[in-house]
Structure 1
Amino acid sequence: MPLDGLFVHAIAHELNEKLAGGRITKVHQPYQNEIILVVRNNQTNYPVLLSAHPAYARAQITQIPYQNPKTPTNFAMFLRRNLEGARLDSVSQVENDRILHFSVKTHDELGDEQTLLLTLEMMGRHSNLFLVREKDQRILELVKHVPADQNRVRSLIPGATYTLPPKQDKENPFDSTLGTLATILLDQEKDTWAKSIQQSYQGFSTQSAQALVKDLVDAPDALKTTKEWLANFNQPKPTLFRSEKGNLSYAAFPWNQDGEQQSFDSLGELLDAYFAGQAEADRVNQQAATLVRLVKNELKKNESKQKKLEQTLVDSENAESFKVKGDLLITYPHLVKKGMQEVEIENYYDNNNLLKIALDPRFDGLQNANRYFNKYRKLRSAKDYVLEQMEATQEEIDYFSSIQTQLSVASPKDVEDIRVELVEQGYLKEKTKVKTKGKQTKKPKHVMGKSDQFVATDGTLIEVGKNNLQNDQLSLKKQNRHKIWLHVQKMPGSHVLIDSENPSEQTLTEAAMLAAYFSKARDSANVPVDYLPAGKLRKPNGAKPGFVIFEGQQTLYVTPTAQLVQELRK
């Protein structure tokens, strides 16, 4: 189901139950339209994601790690001044709409108690996050400033009065007697029930309405069935559905839907599992747009170069034919006159069969012969150079293919490592700050991100490198020499290390599935994965980051699944 009013009802219930009465200890803005509040309640820290993203707007307790920018945004600084240390009084939904109020008790500049509302509107591209003073409904700040010429319905700038989005003339199903439902069921055809429910009640998406109708079709008591169905949103049983094609969908409880089902203990865990791939990929694309473009251009350039080299190699294989033509022209120069485009000469190398020879009309026979001899000498000497260049170009293609794969499976925290590597390799210029008067501060040394960690079913630690710097760290560390190393066969992918010299067969299979999942073969079946002790790996002199050679490996064939990756994530 999409994030409709019914699902937001369930989210509000979960957030209020876990967060009400807690203290806001930290405020971060790791991404453009998303805020993380760390709320401490009942001796537990809850990272609460409030997202006004156009495609992934939501509110949830999240366990997905995030990385803060070095310099906090103005919005983040404003929220810190007003919210850190304040008490989160309650989380409430506006009727059955996709709007949540986080009511915060704090003090103003004079020390008087006041209530601020952190209001999240989850409405697609119109999503926004406001900090509003409850007393006079004044907007103190908001994450997206919208000029008056772009929204004439209400003012969305600091200092304006906060007003709710235009209200639709629909009933709140949780407060209604559901009297309209009887009319719909009695007076209309079954195939129109879902649409009529949507038009009559707040918060129903198409999927939600269709799911309710499935339960109503054969229900002896429609009113009772509907009330029981709605009650599920107060006591959710979060469920993730996976279709045969691998498409994901989610619901607050396991309603009638085809596909494989997976249950979660909380809505936050459910949303983490659902949005992990999509939202993370979007964040990476935002942060790494320059890198993605660079890698794409480098691949295109090198693939084009490789094609030209291949053609040159084909030409060099035909070098003897140029020598033959030169010999014939120098033997029979009198047959060629200036202005001729071609000539046919008996080829004494081929039983005197006639050979057609193309000519440059500007030259006579001897001069055309010299042109063919020059081509022959160049191609003979170029062959070794071309082979050398083809090998170097293929290495570039392999390298940028691996970077492209790493960007496709990267999380936001991995992007900076990839950027630093491309700077060190000379493919990307490092940004330089404009010098200002006064003391110059030394640029801090880059701290490499940690590899992703997973725990096998038997408790063994499995580490996955998400970029070449992490891969080298995992694969070439002396203390890791006796641990088992894995990599997808003959394809770009992550280096995987099992923290054991003699892992169980199940752990080995799970690690192989991680290696396949974090590779170019993520969506393939029966993926070959090589494994061997890390001590058998060697790095050639001058090799690029992440490149190793080995022999004596064994191979497993596995089919990666996103569900296993989620289950093993530490």
Structure 2
Amino acid sequence: MPLDGLFVHALAHELNQTLAGGRITKVHQPYPNEIILVVRNNGQNYPVLLSAHPAYARAQVTRIPYQNPKTPTNFAMFLRRNLEGARLDSVTQVENDRILHFAVNTHDELGDEQTLLLTLEMMGRHSNLFLVREKDQRILELIKHVPADQNRVRSLIPGATYVLPPAQDKENPFSSDLGGLAKIILDSDKADWGKAIQQEYQGFSSISAKNLASHLAAASDAMATAHDWLNHFSNPEPTLYRSEKNKLSYAAFDWGETGSTSESYQTLGDLLDAYFAGQAEADRVNQQAASLVRLVKNELKKNQSKEKKLNQTLVDSENAEDLKIKGDLLITYPHLVKKGMNSVQIENYYDNNNLITIALDPRFDGMQNANRYFHKYRKLRLAKDHVLGQLKETQEEIDYFSQIQTQLAVASPKDVADIKVELIEQGYLREKVKVKTRGKQTRKPKHVMGKPDQFLSTDGTLIEVGKNNLQNDQLSLKKTNRHKIWLHVQKLPGSHVLIDSDNPSDETLEEAAQLAAYFSKARDSANVPVDYLPAGKLRKPNGAKPGFVIFEGQQTTYVTPDATLVQKLKKA
């Protein structure tokens, strides 16, 4: 189901039960449209994600790790100043709309008690997050400033009065006696029930309305069924569905989605983490690494075009002997060629005196045309050795940028900085930022390399996955890792994987191979070959690019990547 008013009702119920009465200890803004509040309640810390993303707007307790920018945004600093240390009194929903109020009890500059509302509107591209003073509904700050020429319905700037989005003239199903539903059942055809429910009641998406209609059509007591169906949103049983085509969907309870397998979760937060993990992470990476993605795409395009031209030159050089033959024949029979001729036919004594047609430049005579053919022949002969060297270098560049492209495709936001540093070190990017120190000296900010992702196999063995070439080199070439088992997808770009054992169980080896296949270009393939061997057998050629190793004596296993298993093995 989409994140409609019904699902937001379930979210509000869960968040209020979990967070009400807790203290906001930290405020972070790791991504442009998203805030993380760390709320401590009942002896536990709850990272609460409030997202005003145009495609993935939501509110949830999240366990997906995040990395903060080095410099906090102005919005994050404003929230820290006003919210850190304050008590979160309640989480409530506005009617059955996609709007949540987080009521925070704090003090103003004079020390007087006041209530601030952190209001999240989850409405697609119009999503926004506000900090509003409750007593006068004044907007103190908001995550997206919208100028008046883009929104004439209400003012979305600091200092303005907060006004709710225009309301629809529909009933809230959770405060209604559902009399309108009885009328729909009596007066409408069953095929029209879904559309009628959506028009009558607030917060219903078309999918939710159709699902309720199907339950009503199969029920003997329609009104009791409707009340039971709605009560599920106050007592959710989070369910994730996976279709035969591996497409994911979710619901607040198991409402019987046909043609899909279902998986239950403890909380709605866990459910949304499982659903949004891949999509939201990929979008965050695209936001942070847009320039890197563009660079890699351009470099690949440039080198692939160069490879095509070099291959054509190589083909031409294979035909160089034909040019020599034509030059020899023109020297032997120069009297047959006169200026102004475009071609000439000559007996080819290299081919049983069969006639051969030779193209001519009409500006020159026979000897001059012969010299032109010999010049082309010598040029192609000399070019062959040069072209072979260029082809090797170009193929190495293509392999390298294919590897970077794959790494960006499977990267999490914390991996982007490492990839950027690598491209700067390799000379593909210029470093623009310099930090001034005393006097006229400048120094580069020291980059702290991220750590490889860690996973735990079913039997508890640690498995590490390098998400970029710097991490791959660290994993593969570290002396203390020489006896550990190393894995990599065969003949394709992918992550280096290391099992923290010199004699892993067959189950651990299978799971590590699954990780190697999943974090590679073969993520969506089946029966993927994965090579494995002790890391001590790896060699790095002199001058090789980061992440490149050679080896022999490997063994191969075949696996089909499973995203569910990867999430299960992820170390918290």
Partner of 1:491: 492
Partner of 1:94: 94
Is the CA contact (8 Å cut-off) linking 1:343 and 1:356 kept in structure 2? yes
Partner of 1:195: 195
Is the CA contact (8 Å cut-off) linking 2:436 and 2:443 kept in structure 1? no
Q: Which amino acid aligns with 1:218?
A: A
Structural mapping, 1:338-353, within 5 Å: 338-353=339-354
Partner of 2:103: 103
Q: Which amino acid aligns with 2:465?
A: V
Q: Which whole-Å CA distance do the structure 2 matches of 1:490 and 1:246 have between them?
A: 26
Q: Which whole-Å CA distance do the structure 2 matches of 1:287 and 1:173 have between them?
A: 41
Q: Which whole-Å CA distance do the structure 2 matches of 1:94 and 1:201 have between them?
A: 14
Partner of 1:366: 367
Structural mapping, 1:209-228, within 5 Å: 209-228=209-228
Q: Which whole-Å CA distance do the structure 1 matches of 2:455 and 2:263 have between them?
A: 19
Give the stretch that moved more between structures: 498-507 or 426-435: 426-435
Q: Which whole-Å CA distance do the structure 2 matches of 1:150 and 1:457 have between them?
A: 53
Partner of 2:23: 23
Q: Which amino acid aligns with 2:331?
A: I
Q: Which whole-Å CA distance do the structure 1 matches of 2:112 and 2:126 have between them?
A: 34
Q: Which whole-Å CA distance do the structure 2 matches of 1:145 and 1:433 have between them?
A: 30
Partner of 1:147: 147
Give the direction of change, closer, same or farther, for the CA distance of 1:436–1:543 in structure 2 (3 Å limit): closer
Is the CA contact (8 Å cut-off) linking 1:453 and 1:461 kept in structure 2? yes
TM-score, with length taken from structure 1: 0.98
Q: Which whole-Å CA distance do the structure 2 matches of 1:552 and 1:178 have between them?
A: 71
Is the CA contact (8 Å cut-off) linking 1:25 and 1:38 kept in structure 2? yes
Q: Deviations over 1:113-138 (max 9, x none)?
A: 00000000000011000000001100
Q: CA deviation at 1:440?
A: 5.3
Q: Which whole-Å CA distance do the structure 1 matches of 2:341 and 2:415 have between them?
A: 65
Q: Which whole-Å CA distance do the structure 1 matches of 2:213 and 2:532 have between them?
A: 52
Is the CA contact (8 Å cut-off) linking 1:281 and 1:411 kept in structure 2? yes
Is the CA contact (8 Å cut-off) linking 1:214 and 1:256 kept in structure 2? no
Is the CA contact (8 Å cut-off) linking 2:481 and 2:535 kept in structure 1? yes
Structural mapping, 1:297-312, within 5 Å: 297-312=298-313
Q: Which amino acid aligns with 2:346?
A: I
Structural mapping, 1:515-554, within 5 Å: 515-554=516-555
Q: Deviations over 1:96-129 (max 9, x none)?
A: 1100000001000000000000000000011000
Partner of 1:71: 71
Q: CA deviation at 1:94?
A: 0.7
Does 2:558 align with 1:557? yes
Partner of 2:568: 567
Partner of 1:10: 10
Structure 1: 5+ residue stretches without partners? none
Q: Which whole-Å CA distance do the structure 2 matches of 1:440 and 1:190 have between them?
A: 77
Moved beyond 2 Å, runs of 4+? 432-444
Secondary structure class of the residue paired with 1:80 = helix
Partner of 1:330: 331
Q: Deviations over 1:56-88 (max 9, x none)?
A: 000001111111111111111100100011111
Secondary structure class of the residue paired with 2:443 = coil
Q: Which amino acid aligns with 1:179?
A: G
Q: Which amino acid aligns with 2:86?
A: A
Is the CA contact (8 Å cut-off) linking 2:434 and 2:442 kept in structure 1? no
Secondary structure class of the residue paired with 2:72 = coil
Q: CA deviation at 1:218?
A: 1.9
Count of residue pairs the alignment pairs up: 570
Q: Deviations over 1:505-544 (max 9, x none)?
A: 1111111111111111111111111111111111111110
Q: Which whole-Å CA distance do the structure 2 matches of 1:158 and 1:287 have between them?
A: 27
Partner of 2:120: 120
Q: Deviations over 1:347-387 (max 9, x none)?
A: 11111111111111121111111111111112112111111
Give the direction of change, closer, same or farther, for the CA distance of 1:434–1:450 in structure 2 (3 Å limit): closer
Does 2:392 align with 1:391? yes
Q: Which whole-Å CA distance do the structure 2 matches of 1:87 and 1:439 have between them?
A: 47
Q: Which whole-Å CA distance do the structure 2 matches of 1:343 and 1:327 have between them?
A: 14
Is the CA contact (8 Å cut-off) linking 2:435 and 2:445 kept in structure 1? no
Q: CA deviation at 1:443?
A: 2.9
Q: Which whole-Å CA distance do the structure 2 matches of 1:494 and 1:437 have between them?
A: 41
Q: Which whole-Å CA distance do the structure 1 matches of 2:430 and 2:314 have between them?
A: 34
Secondary structure class of the residue paired with 2:416 = helix
Q: Which amino acid aligns with 2:466?
A: G
Q: CA deviation at 1:436?
A: 10
Q: Which whole-Å CA distance do the structure 2 matches of 1:442 and 1:390 have between them?
A: 38
Q: Which whole-Å CA distance do the structure 2 matches of 1:439 and 1:541 have between them?
A: 37
Q: CA deviation at 1:438?
A: 5.6
Q: Which whole-Å CA distance do the structure 2 matches of 1:516 and 1:198 have between them?
A: 44
TM-score, with length taken from structure 2: 0.98
Q: Deviations over 1:233-252 (max 9, x none)?
A: 11111111111111110011
Is the CA contact (8 Å cut-off) linking 1:465 and 1:496 kept in structure 2? yes
Q: CA RMSD in A?
A: 1.2
Is the CA contact (8 Å cut-off) linking 2:435 and 2:443 kept in structure 1? no
Secondary structure class of the residue paired with 1:268 = helix
Is the CA contact (8 Å cut-off) linking 1:52 and 1:128 kept in structure 2? yes
Secondary structure class of the residue paired with 2:491 = coil
Q: Which amino acid aligns with 2:531?
A: D
Is the CA contact (8 Å cut-off) linking 1:334 and 1:365 kept in structure 2? yes
Q: Which whole-Å CA distance do the structure 2 matches of 1:401 and 1:74 have between them?
A: 37
Secondary structure class of the residue paired with 1:26 = strand
Structural mapping, 1:357-506, within 5 Å: 357-433=358-434, 442-506=443-507
Is the CA contact (8 Å cut-off) linking 2:435 and 2:442 kept in structure 1? no
Percent of paired sites with the same residue: 82
Q: Which whole-Å CA distance do the structure 2 matches of 1:233 and 1:547 have between them?
A: 52
Q: Which amino acid aligns with 2:100?
A: L
Structure 2: 5+ residue stretches without partners? none
Q: Which whole-Å CA distance do the structure 1 matches of 2:543 and 2:198 have between them?
A: 64
